[in-house]
Amino acid sequence: MKIAIHAFEGVTLFHLSVPQMVFDEVSRQGLAGWETVLFSDRAGSVRTAEGYTLGRVQGLSATDDADLIVLPSWVDDGRELRPGLRRALLRAHDRGAAIAGLCLGAIAVADLGLLEGRSAVTHWRAAEGLASRHPDVAVDSRVLYLDHGDVMTSAGTASGIDACLHVVRTRLGAGAANQVARSLVVAPHREGGQAQYIERPVAQRSADDPIGAASAWALRNLTEDLSIDRLANAAHMSRRTFVRAFRDSTGTTPAAWVRSRRLDEARRLLEVTDLSVDQIAASCGFGNPVTLRQNFAAAFGSTPSGYRLRFDARS
């Protein structure tokens, strides 16, 4: 299988090296005769973000017989593809080549029109911009990668490794993917998704804001019953007025906001304490560990214990 990897001026070495590292390991391990090549809009050299010059980069003709074309990232300003690159990628897709947009490369794939009516993922910081730029694409900022067979996208930065191992697993089987992962000393399949890494800052509000006052009270009392009526009472507002004002202020419902704050506290406790899951559930107001696990899995695609293994700040 021939894999053509797009290199552009300013590409980071990490993004460019991920597909080469994974796919070249397939050949090094004797699992299949896979070949990777670098190509750009024109043959010659490419200067990376780190200041290195890569020579012997092929031109667009490298896509003519490629089985998989990888866009490992994209330019920071999000500019559209040049006409020649666009034509080459669409021509390759039309003849059956798969197209993969890793990290910000998903933006370029969407610009090709190959994700219309489909789901996609990109780095969580760029998810909102991609959704605004392509409202016909269902952007999912939670997962690590999404594969439609002919088109694949992945989340931010290191998620490209997960996506490339998925390609190995899909084409050569789980045993081959596991062998490559062991050789590279990475997980063959990471639990959960990108949602575990997304920052969820609490909005700052003035002290005399009734919604801010109720929110601050709730944060100090996560173990209590934080019903709408109790929150409205803390804000000195009627239930109906509070619900409307809360949504206007936060963009969400009181119940969803409380659940997110409890999950934030649960994540913090998992990272910095050795409290059991039962104790954390009680400390965050979930009542029982089953409720915590259900909500945690729904929000982050991981179990509390799995999250702790990955993000324990004490290790």
Domains defined for the chain, CATH in brackets: 2-197 (3.40.50.880), 210-311 (1.10.10.60)
Contact between 258 and 226 under an 8 Å Cβ cutoff? The reply is yes
pLDDT of amino acid 206 = 55
- What does pTM read for this prediction? 0.70
Which of 14-28, 54-68, 71-85, 242-256 is predicted with the least confidence, judged by mean pLDDT? 242-256
Residue 86 has pLDDT above 80, yes or no: yes
pLDDT of amino acid 192 = 65
Residue 47's beta-bridge partner residues? 53
pLDDT of amino acid 224 = 92
Q: Specify the DSSP element, H or E, that contains 150.
A: none
Query: Measured between alpha carbons, how far is residue 248 from residues 16, 241, 244, 253 in Å?
Result: 43, 11, 6, 9
Give the whole-angstrom CA distance, residue 311 versus residue 271.
6
Contact between 297 and 277 under an 8 Å Cβ cutoff? The reply is no
Contact between 154 and 101 under an 8 Å Cβ cutoff? The reply is yes
Taking the alpha carbons of 104, 107, 109, 110 in that order, is the dihedral positive or negative?
A: positive
Over range 148-167, report the average pLDDT.
Answer: 93
Give the whole-angstrom CA distance, residue 308 versus residue 112.
39
pLDDT in tens, 163-197: 999 999 889 988 898 899 989 988 777 766 676 66
b/e sequence 169-184, b meaning 16+ C-beta within 10 Å = bebbeeebbbbbbeee
pLDDT of amino acid 77 = 87
